[in-house]
Amino acid sequence: MKTKEELIKENAELSDRVDKLIDNDEIRRIEFARAFNWTKQEASYAYQSIEYKKPTWAEIFVQLGRLLETHDSESLRVDFENLAKEVGRLGKVITKEDKQI
């Protein structure tokens, strides 16, 4: 069984750890906001620095899902274009061979 002092020390250590985790969470969310260019309402003065909003993790995951969907769609489009080119090339090869026969 732990003494009162040991429990107080452990509580302080856990509190510090929680504070660090919260700080790291905010830093990560702000980095996502920078990457997605999510800013707070800008002031009318141009010399003020840009302030990024702190998105929720749900907003971040929705945006990541949209990016993945866009990437997948673009990749699929490129694959279809390449496939169409290959089919066209094979069609020319087949007609060329038919002419030779």
pLDDT the model gives residue 76: 83
Residue 46 lies in a domain: no
Kindly tell me if the per-residue pLDDT of 11 is higher than 80.
Answer: yes
Residue 47 lies in a domain: no
Number of domains forming the structure of the chain: 2
Q: Domain range spanning residue 64?
A: 56-101
The reply to whether 34 and 62 lie within a common domain is: no
Tell me how far apart the alpha carbons of residues 22 and 17 are, in angstroms, rounded to a whole number: 9
Residue 78 lies in a domain: yes
Pair 45, 56: CB distance under 8 Å: no
Q: What is the mean pLDDT of residues 10-23?
A: 97
The reply to whether 61 and 95 lie within a common domain is: yes
User: How many residues are present in the chain?
Assistant: 101
Give the start-end residues of each E strand in the chain. Answer: none
Residue 34 lies in a domain: yes
